[in-house]
Copies of this chain bind each other. A is one copy, B any other.
């Protein structure tokens, strides 16, 4: 608590620790990140293997040793992170701080509540830690473009999802009425589950219409779902194209400072000043 309120710059040891743990510019920082990434991946694979009954029976001891080793590594890392940051409490309450804590808690809790399956699964959330370690420059840029496109599509996608859910509720109710409990549509929620399975073209086949009108309505729903798939795709395509064009608009008008001019504009579209035009650089050779 007292440490979290102190505003002084971080000292020599903690500064170096911060550079290694939180940054990836130095060789030490990079090595730390790579080592941590492998530890995360192996620990997640160990959790998966533990869920396979024959593996658990044969290699149970080895897996629990590995589990404690990973817990020790992640716990040490968690303490070092707390030491390295200026405001440990802020870190501990941040999203990744909680994920880091969740990575070590289950092993300690499993001593108190042995064999709880839930704890096993919580450990899989360690995978999320990969995203904090991952600092691959150009991929981040690509992810940024994708996120921009998705964020710009948010409104349209909300409208789209609202439409899909309305169709699911109404079609589910109709099929519950038409097919009835005898054919597996034994409640509206279950019929809605079937409508989602059908409309998204997944088609498990665990529940299927048996009557002629039911199969006809299902056909309509399938063709709708097949065609409707075009809508989010179109939305994302258009927004991705816009996001990819985005970085073009970097030229500011010398007269009014306005931006967002087209590539071939020679006069500012706001004040009419001549734009300080230089031929754009050739695209970088890969």
Which residue of B145, B181, B269 contacts A267 across the interface (Cβ within 8 Å)? B269
Q: How far is the CB of A245 from chain B (nearest CB, A)?
A: 9
The reply to whether A146 and B124 contact each other, CB–CB distance below 8 Å, is no
With A121-B177, A262-B269: A159-B188 Cβ-Cβ less than 8 Å: no
Task: Tell me the residues in window 225-253 of chain A with beta carbons closer than 8 Å to chain B beta carbons.
Answer: 225-227, 229-242, 244, 250, 252
Which residue of B51, B142, B196, B260 contacts A187 across the interface (Cβ within 8 Å)? B51
A117 within 8 A of B: yes
CA distance A54 to B228 in the complex (A): 35
A219 within 8 A of B: yes
Select the stretch in A21-29, A107-115, A276-284 that faces chain B: A276-284
CA distance A259 to B278 in the complex (A): 11
A232's closest neighbor in chain B, by CB? B230
The reply to whether B124 and A188 contact each other, CB–CB distance below 8 Å, is yes
> How many subunits of this chain does the assembly comprise?
4
A20 within 8 A of B: no
Main secondary structure of the interface of A (DSSP, over half): helix
The reply to whether B218 and A193 contact each other, CB–CB distance below 8 Å, is yes
A35 within 8 A of B: no
Chain A's interface size range is 35 or more
A133 within 8 A of B: no
A155's closest neighbor in chain B, by CB? B142
CA distance A204 to B44 in the complex (A): 27
The reply to whether B237 and A227 contact each other, CB–CB distance below 8 Å, is no
A194's closest neighbor in chain B, by CB? B215
Q: How far is the CB of A163 from chain B (nearest CB, A)?
A: 9
A158 within 8 A of B: yes
With A205-B206, A262-B260, A264-B258: A51-B223 Cβ-Cβ less than 8 Å: no
Chain B residues, CB < 8 A from A10:
none
With most chain B CB atoms within 10 A of its CB, the pick from A143, A164, A200, A263 is A200
Known: A201-B202, A233-B233; 19 extra A-B contacts, CB below 8 A, are: A47-B173, A121-B188, A130-B166, A141-B155, A142-B155, A143-B159, A150-B231, A193-B216, A201-B203, A202-B225, A203-B205, A226-B232, A230-B236, A230-B237, A234-B238, A242-B244, A265-B270, A267-B271, A272-B272
**Closest A-B pairs by Cβ, 3 of them:** A265-B269, A202-B203, A267-B272
